[in-house]
Amino acid sequence: MNIGQLIDDELTKQGRIKKKIADKVGINPRSFISKTKNDTFSAEELLKLAVVLDIDLNSLKNKIAKEIEE
């Protein structure tokens, strides 16, 4: 699973709308959808998303680490 998928899953879990989240982090909504599909968020965008969505970055890191180890 890539970061874009994790963000998409979190949005679904929280019942959030992509357009509103995109606006909060300063990304054009169409670009946000594209970045989610193509997994092309910058580090700054990921940090902003983590704040807006209240994502624990250590938890996210651990999920990715488990996938790497598999």
pLDDT tens for 5-51 read 989 999 999 999 999 999 999 999 999 999 999 999 999 999 999 99
Which residues are CB-neighbours of 64 under 8 A, at least 6 positions away? Answer: 3
The helix or strand, by DSSP H or E, that contains position 51, with its residue range, turns out to be helix 43-53
The helix or strand, by DSSP H or E, that contains position 36, with its residue range, turns out to be helix 29-38
Q: Considering the entire predicted model, what is its pTM?
A: 0.83
Q: What domains are there in the chain, each with its CATH number?
A: 3-69 (1.10.260.40)
